[in-house]
Amino acid sequence: MHLRARTVRLAVAALVAGLALTGCSAPEPQNGGGEGEQTLRLALSAAPTDLSIGNGITGDPTIYLAVYDRIVHRHGDQLEPGIAESWEYNADRTQLTLNIREGLKFSSGNALDAAAVAANIEAVRTIPATTQLVSAVSGVEAPDPSTVVVTLSRPDASILPNLAEALGAVGDPEVLGEDSSKLAPIGSGPYILNTEKSKTGSLYVLDRNEDYWDVESFDFEHVEIQAIPDPAAVQNALLAGQIDYGNVGADVVSQFKDNPKFHVGDTTGGFPILALIDRTGSIVPALGDVRVRQAINHAINRDEIVEKLLFGQGTPTNQMFNPQYGAFDEGLLEKGEYDLDAAKKLMADAGYADGFELTMPSNFLTAYYEPTLTQSLGDLGITVTWEPVQFTDLYPKVFGGSYGAFFIYGAGYPFPAQDANASLTGIFNPFGYTTPELDALVAAANAADESEQDAAFKKVNAYLVDQAWFAPLNVGKSSFVTTAEVEFDPTVGYGFLSAFSVSN
C-alpha cells in the first residue's frame, strides 16, 4: 500500500479537491466546444509543476495520465493491453518481452514504436523519483519496431503492474529530458493538453485525441481542470454546478444523497501511516528496538480513530497491504490490537519505561491526526514534537536523515507486489534497511508464479507486521459526488479519465 514515492499520490487522492469560488473564473456549467460536445469539469488540489516523463508518480496524476498512454493498462486488478498488445516472461521471469501495438503516433506526429518505448524505460531508470521502482531492470532493447525486451537482474513481480501506472507512461523521445516537456508534454494518450487555453497554475484544458487507438472509451471531448488548494470549496463548487466530480467528507455527504442533481458513491480513501523508518536506531535509538515499534502499534486505538475521526468511514488495519486483495491477512490484525498495558511492558522490557523524545514533520497532511498521535505516544511517555515542514521539503528531509519516523498517507495497490515494493523502497524505506530473512521472502515472492504470489507476499506482510516496520492506522473510505450527468467508476483506478462517462 503506498504512495510509491508515489507515496503522496494517495494522500492527494484523499484530498482531491475544491474549486475556489473567488480569485479565478470558473467554467460555465454547460457543455463546451462545438455543438453536442461534452466537457468534463474537475478540480485538483494542487497544480502540476512538472509533467515530463518520470514525474507523474508524485502529486495528482490526472493530467499526466491523460496526456501519456501507458505500456500496459489495468482495470481494478486486471492487466489489459495498452501500448503493448501482449507480453510474456521467460521461464525464470528475468526477461519480459513486450509486443508493441503497430501504427501508434505521438501528438507531434512522430512514430511511437518499440524504440520509443525502450527510450522511455531507460529514462525512468535514471530519474530520482522512479529509479528504485525499476532497480531490477538491467537492460532494455528494441530488436525490431514492434518488440521490446526488458532484462531483469532478478525477478520483480511489480514491474508489469507498475507499467500500468504512471511509471509506464511513454512520451515523445525527441523531448525526453527537455524543459519544454514540463509544461507542454507530448504523448500519445487519450487527451492533448491545449497550451493556448490552459493557464499554468490555475486552469488546464484537455482536448480529446481523436487519433487515440481506444478513443471510444472516452466520452468527453474536453476536460477542464481547475487546480485550487482549498479542499473545503469542493462542496460549494459541486452545489453551484461548477464542477462535475469531487470527494467530500463524511460530515457533509448527506447534503448530496437525497438531491436528484447528484450521484453519491464510495471508494477506498487514503491509508494513514506512521512510518517507523529508523529501524537501526541511528537517529532515534529507541526505534532500533523492535519492542518499541511493537509498543507503538499497541498504543494506537485504531477502532476509536475510525469511529471518532472518520465518523465510521473506514476500517482499522495494521498492514501495508490492500485489504481487498490476497496478501492481506486477517489473522495479523491482533498484532495491532489496542493494549496499553502490553505496550508499556514492551517499552519497559526495551529499557524505555520513561519514554523518549521524538520529532516528526508537520504539514497539511498530518494536522488532522497530530493530536491523536501525540496522545497515543504520550501514553507511553514518548514526547512528540511536531516540526513545521513544507510538503515540498518533506522528501529531502526524510531522505537526509532528519527524522526517525513520520506520518504520511499511502495507497493500497491491486497487486501485492506493488504494495511490497512500495513498502521496501522510496520514502517508506529511505535508508535502504533490510535483513537476509526479508530478502529471501521477497525474492521467493517475486519469483513465484502468478497463482502463488498472494501466498508468497502474505509471508512478506507477516514479516513487516511482526517487525513493526510501520504503524498503519486504517483504510479510509472516501465519498465522491458527481453531477447527475456524469458517472464515475471507482474500480478503474484513481487519476484515469476513462473512469468518467456520460450518464444515461
The predicted model gives 161-189 an average pLDDT of: 95
Dist. CA 133–CA 210, nearest whole Å: 32
**Pairing label, strands 137-144, 95-100:** unpaired
pLDDT given for residue 350 in this prediction: 98
- Domains located in the chain, CATH noted: 7-265+479-502 (3.40.190.10), 271-476 (3.10.105.10)
The predicted model gives 14-19 an average pLDDT of: 34
The predicted model gives 243-255 an average pLDDT of: 85
Does residue 54 carry a pLDDT above 50?
A: yes
DSSP-assigned states of every residue in 42-74: EEESS--S--STT-SSSS--HHHHHHSEESEEE
Cβ(243)–Cβ(256) below 8 Å:
no
DSSP-assigned states of every residue in 21-40: SSSSPPPPSS--SSTT--EE
What's the grid cell of residue 224? Answer: 477542464
Q: Model pTM?
A: 0.83
What's the grid cell of residue 309? Answer: 475521526
The predicted model gives 84-92 an average pLDDT of: 96
Dist. CA 370–CA 19, nearest whole Å: 27
What ranges in 402-504 are assigned the alpha helix state H?
A: 416-424, 436-447, 453-466
pLDDT given for residue 182 in this prediction: 93
Which amino acid would we find at residue 174?
E
- β-partners of residue 129 are none
Dist. CA 75–CA 181, nearest whole Å: 28
User: For 78-87, 137-146, 240-249, 336-345, which range has the lowest pLDDT when averaged over its residues?
Assistant: 240-249
What's the grid cell of residue 211? Answer: 487519433
Phi, psi dihedral angles at 189 (to 5 degrees)? -75, -175
Dist. CA 247–CA 475, nearest whole Å: 16
pLDDT given for residue 270 in this prediction: 77
For 56, 72, 97, 159, the CA distances from 85, given in Å and listed in that order, are: 23, 8, 11, 16
* Closest listed residue to residue 101, CA positions, set 125, 80, 121: 80
Q: Residue by residue, what is the 3-state secondary structure of 258-325?
A: CCCCEEEEEEECCEEEEECCCCCCCCCHHHHCHHHHHHHHHHCCHHHHHHHCCCCCEEECCCCCCCCC
Does residue 30 carry a pLDDT above 80?
A: no
For the chain, the straight-line distance linking the first and the last C-alpha, in angstroms and rounded, comes to 35
pLDDT given for residue 45 in this prediction: 81
Does residue 34 carry a pLDDT above 50?
A: no
Q: Compare 356 and 365 and report the one with higher pLDDT.
A: 356
Does residue 233 carry a pLDDT above 90?
A: no
Cβ(124)–Cβ(53) below 8 Å:
yes
State the DSSP H helix or E strand holding residue 393, giving kind and residue range, or none if neither. helix 391-399
Does residue 341 carry a pLDDT above 60?
A: yes
For 17, 328, 476, the CA distances from 11, given in Å and listed in that order, are: 11, 21, 11
Q: Torsion-angle region of residue 432: left (phi > 0), alpha (psi -120 to 50) or beta? A: left
pLDDT given for residue 22 in this prediction: 30
Tell me the percentage of the chain whose pLDDT exceeds 70: 92
pLDDT given for residue 44 in this prediction: 87
Q: What share of the chain is helix, strand, coil (3-state, %, to 5)?
A: 30, 25, 45
Q: Torsion-angle region of residue 314: left (phi > 0), alpha (psi -120 to 50) or beta? A: left
pLDDT given for residue 323 in this prediction: 92
pLDDT tier at 35 (50, 70, 90 boundaries)? low
Dist. CA 67–CA 161, nearest whole Å: 19
pLDDT given for residue 55 in this prediction: 85
Q: Is 196 exposed, middle or buried (0-12, 13-18, 19+ CB in 10 A)?
A: exposed
pLDDT given for residue 500 in this prediction: 93
User: For 33-42, 50-59, 290-299, which range has the lowest pLDDT when averaged over its residues?
Assistant: 33-42
pLDDT given for residue 29 in this prediction: 38
pLDDT digits (tens, 9 = 90+) for 92-121: 999 999 999 999 999 999 999 999 999 999
pLDDT given for residue 32 in this prediction: 41
The length of the chain in residues reads 504
pLDDT given for residue 8 in this prediction: 34
pLDDT given for residue 504 in this prediction: 66
Dist. CA 280–CA 133, nearest whole Å: 23
Does residue 235 carry a pLDDT above 60?
A: yes
Place of cell 519496431: 145
pLDDT given for residue 96 in this prediction: 98
State the DSSP H helix or E strand holding residue 472, giving kind and residue range, or none if neither. strand 470-472
For 201, 238, 250, 435, 500, the CA distances from 256, given in Å and listed in that order, are: 29, 9, 11, 50, 19
* Average pLDDT score, the chain: 89
